[in-house]
Amino acid sequence: MEIKLLNKIPILLTLMMSINAISQMKMADIEGKEIIVNSKTEKQNLIKIFDDSNYTIFYVLDRRDFHLIKGNGTSSPGNIIFFSKKYNKGILAVFRQMIYHSKRNIYNISFTTLSAENYMFIPSMIILDKDFNYEYLMRYTYIHLPYDQTIYRSSISIQDKKDRCNLIHIDLKGNAIYENIDDILSNISKVPKNNNSQKDCSPVIYDMDLRDFFPKQIIP
């Protein structure tokens, strides 16, 4: 009985999340969502937790999280991919995940953006191509203007991973998690090519973020 129920879980999860499916998806849509993973039967490291005609959401599974004693839980960063079928690209973001080992081989995993006002939990993000290779680095920035602490500026920077001198900055009205995924990805065409006129070609994502929060590669 339990095995039959577990086999239906992916379908039930898809139905649950599709209730709120709309033509435009935002990163904030992951807030409060929960999935159930069987650590013994799940063979993939990329779990599809939502899918419709416009978008797919993937959870990047890290099997090192399956170390908890039954009845215990933990909180840690977790990787979510928001994939746009229109642009055939995805945004890899880092949110807070709560993992609870509920019973033998069964883990309940829930997500929160952990964003406070205009701040983002982890402002570093990566844009993936259709094969889930790292194509662009992206970072969300929120700063108060020095002359008036009541005025702030929000923006995202998108940078070519191979040629880091090719980058653009886009102003936002607020927190990046409320931006439509397609609206963010539409800016990729604006990233210059072979722009060597810039003196500062520093990466928009810190090496520490790349090392600590993102997998080295994603293999579907």
Please write the tens of the pLDDT for every residue from 158-177: 999 988 889 999 999 889 99
Q: Is the pLDDT of residue 15 over 50?
A: no
Q: Is the pLDDT of residue 14 over 70?
A: no
Measure the CA dihedral 125/36/63/176, to 10°: 10
- Half-sphere exposure (Cβ direction) of 174: Cα atoms closer than 13 Å: 10
Indicate the pLDDT class of residue 4, thresholds 50, 70 and 90: very low
Q: How much is the pLDDT for 77?
A: 93
SS3 57: strand
Q: Kindly state the average pLDDT of the residues 124-141.
A: 96
Q: How much is the pLDDT for 200?
A: 66
The percentage of the chain sitting over the pLDDT mark of 70, rounded to a whole number, equals 85
Q: What is the pLDDT of residues 86-125, one digit of tens each?
A: 999 999 999 999 999 999 889 999 999 988 778 899 999 9
Sequence-separated (6 or more) residues with CB below 8 Å from residue 214: 79, 92, 94, 124, 126
Indicate the pLDDT class of residue 216, thresholds 50, 70 and 90: confident
Sequence-separated (6 or more) residues with CB below 8 Å from residue 2: none
Q: Is the pLDDT of residue 213 over 90?
A: yes
